[in-house]
Chains A and B, each alone.
Chain A
């Protein structure tokens, strides 16, 4: 792929990132960070791509470590995010009219 195409993809991705994330409630800041953290584990792919190209023990060892690191990043990241998100719940019983605009919610 030529450089300009890659740069175009890079710039457009930046804008997609800004657009998608710009309005996130505080409640979800941690899961969001942890989720994006898992996504940059995509570097795993980078490790896989070069493993068959390089030669020499040191290079191979570096890449095995890189693949292990990337895998930790991906698996750990998605699992922790999932655990966190599973805990977020709505108000179970709207006994009081404390719940503001979500008056119709009936979470019994």
Chain B
């Protein structure tokens, strides 16, 4: 029996399986970068995960004890796996596509939470068996504790905001930046105290608590429009904390997988920030959209500029006799769950020989690529969805642009008025088209609280009401023509 079990328990065999696992992760991720290979890529990565878990179960822990050492441990592991499966499967299968951003935030949070808990247990274990471990293990444990805890709590707040348990508008305390800095210094201070020789579980819990408060306070003031950046940043954080845990445990698959996620999350975060022309630190500093210093005081100057409101029937006539219609969706489409109605409108218009394209801004919605997912759910083929750089040259030859629940990403002030808080942000140049119809719930300013000159443009007309109902009415009118 000992001989039979010896070969697959050997670290070499387990490590070889780890190499297979992370190779599959990399191949899978490469698949995820193209629409035709993505489904398979995701499955390949999942196979890699199964291999990594199985390899771990048959192998040994960092100090040479078999991972399944006793019946009790086996039951504990099984318990954890069963609870996780029982929660994870229904959550993933039942979630509506409009709720995917918060689900991703939640899955990300539990990942970070797992890292924080593992580092805590590992530190307790070290204290019980002879004090602080050597620095090359201790420092990654401390790092994993800080980042994991920030990521867990930050993701939970992001979930709360997206699920609308918490208000989406920025919540700020007086002296917010100062408090955040103090919390960060507390966490790092406790970590340094441990690293320089203090052996105290209290200090370690201090790290976890300070980082937890920091995670809460950093995400609370961030407005919903900045959520794409926050979610990708927290995703990167969890990856980095997993890589740190990997160094502490001397485990290659954790290091490789964690770091790849850390790197890819960083890239996505950067893409999102560039798409908003804002730096990541300024987004983290938060508070954008508090209103305050916006150049044009919203509400005040409606008097001298008028908006032209229109009816579903007029819009239907405009659309039906157009050659090219560009639809620009935003978060409002997600809120109203209007994606299926939009697809139906597209189908009817195409039946009348109108060419329909979608202009998708990279940060439209609450998650990178949010609009693409919603429209895909409604069976809009992805080659009809145009990225900003591809659709902008098309606006001058567009007859009608239909803006559905988008605001700031179409705001010409970003190009024209250097005083505007969003000046310099790349936008969809909707104002270049021959006519623009904006579907809006009411005449409120956009999420960022910034006035949008597009609405006062003489070529623009507004159709007020719930996006889904408005689109359905337009569709009915087009069919009746």
Q: Contact check: which of A17, A31, A95 meets B32 at CB < 8 Å?
A: A31
Complex alpha-carbon distance, A35 and B106, angstroms = 14
Contact assessment for B381 and A69 in the assembled complex, using a CB-CB cutoff below 8 Å: no
A40 engages B376 (CB within 8 Å)? no
Determine if A36 and B91 form an interchain contact, defined as CB atoms under 8 angstroms apart.
no
Main secondary structure of the interface of A (DSSP, over half): helix
Contact indicator A48/B56 (Cβ below 8 Å):
yes
Distance in Å from the Cβ of B143 to the closest Cβ of chain A?
12
With most chain A CB atoms within 10 A of its CB, the pick from B57, B61, B110 is B110
Instruction: Give the interface SS of chain B, mostly helix, strand, loop or mixed.
Output: helix
* Residues of chain A from 58 to 108 with CB closer than 8 A to chain B in the complex: 58-60, 62-92, 95-96, 98-100, 102
Say yes or no: A46 contacts B118, CB within 8 Å.
yes
Which residues of B sit under 8 angstroms from A95, Cβ to Cβ?
Answer: 350
A55-B384 Cα distance, complex, nearest whole Å: 58
Given A1-B252, A74-B49, A86-B39; A62-B67 close (CB under 8 Å)? no
Tell yes or no: B355 within 8 A of A by CB. Answer: yes
- Determine if B84 and A45 form an interchain contact, defined as CB atoms under 8 angstroms apart: no
State the Cβ distance, A30 to closest chain B Cβ, in Å: 4
Chain A: residues with Cβ within 8 Å of the partner, total of: 89
Q: Is the CB of B76 within 8 A of A36?
A: no
Give the docked Cα–Cα distance between A73 and B218 (Å): 23
**Contact across chains for B376 and A87 when beta carbons are under 8 A apart:** yes
Give the complex CA separation of A1 and B385 in angstroms: 48
Does A35 contact B28, Cβ atoms closer than 8 Å?
yes
CB of B87 within 8 Å of the partner chain: yes
B232 cross-chain contacts in A, Cβ below 8 A: 33
Shortest Cβ gap from A104 to chain B (Å): 13
Instruction: Please tell me if the beta carbons of B111 and A52 are within 8 angstroms of each other in the complex.
Output: no
Q: Give residues of chain A (1-27) contacting chain B, Cβ–Cβ below 8 Å.
A: 1, 3, 6-7, 9-10, 13-18, 20-27
In the complex, the answer to whether B387 meets A30 with C-beta atoms within 8 Å is no
In B55-94, which residues have CB < 8 Å from any A CB?
56-57, 61-63, 65-70, 73, 76-77, 79-81, 83-85, 87-89, 91-93
Known interface pairs A16-B263, A72-B110, A73-B107; 6 further A-B residue pairs with C-beta atoms within 8 A, sorted by A's residue number: A39-B261, A40-B235, A52-B70, A63-B76, A75-B92, A76-B89
Nearest 4 CB-CB pairings of A with B: A71-B84, A17-B263, A67-B80, A29-B369
